[in-house]
Amino acid sequence: MKTRSILLVLIFLIPVIGFSQDLEMVDYISPFNDDVAAVKKGSSWAFIDDNGMIVVDFRKDFVISNKDKIKYPIFNDGRSLIQLKKKGITYFGYIDKSGKVAIEPQFLNATNFQEGHAIVLELVKQNVGTNELLEKPLVSYDYFEAVINTDGEIVSYLVEKPIHITLDKEYIRKPPPLTCKLLSKNLIAKQNKDRTWSVRKIE
């Protein structure tokens, strides 16, 4: 009798457990990309796998991409773009499919990954002296446009000279523009000052 009661409980409990995994009352579900789909609820996004299970929980720091004229966050090469504001300035980084930060938000701009590469604006800080009255170091900031791999390592620099920038929210009200775009695993296109484009290999 006891065994039968346990079986009856399990028979009724299993469907309830299965049903509790269903996703309800969401505002939008994107097409699948990189084996996951973005799901929107209010102003937050999450990702589900092909079983409908949430693999990355709802959060508000995803960077929204414009894919096929629809806007939603995406994963490519196991990485999704996130953003973090520090002192009014937005920095970009990446998370993996477990929801953990794979590359810390540190770039002034960044693209989604494509065939193992992404283009970023790497910020570089340099000490240029000391303010003797305040006894504080004087610093200067520049950025480089570069290609990184999925570990966040620089693969190639895309500009010969760094671009100087004033690291202040009054001067950086939106991310500095990228001048390059990925064409393939080995090629990038760079926009010239006259608005023409040049194609070069990723070294």
Taking residues 135-141, report their average pLDDT.
79
Taking residues 154-176, report their average pLDDT.
93
Amino acid at 199: V
pLDDT band, very low/low/confident/very high, at 127 (cuts 50, 70, 90): confident
pLDDT band, very low/low/confident/very high, at 7 (cuts 50, 70, 90): very low
Give phi and psi for 91, each to the nearest 5.
-115, 150
12 vs 167, higher pLDDT: 167
DSSP character for 31?
Answer: P
This model's pTM is above 0.95: no
Mean pLDDT of the chain: 88
pLDDT more than 70, % of the chain: 85
Taking residues 21-34, report their average pLDDT.
88
DSSP character for 52?
Answer: S
pLDDT in tens, 64-102: 999 888 999 999 999 999 999 999 999 999 999 999 999
182 vs 132, higher pLDDT: 182
What is the pLDDT at residue 41? Answer: 95
Q: Is the pLDDT of residue 120 over 80?
A: yes
- Order of strands, edge to edge, in the sheet holding 187-191? 180-182, 187-191, 197-201
Alpha helices per DSSP H over the chain: 2-19
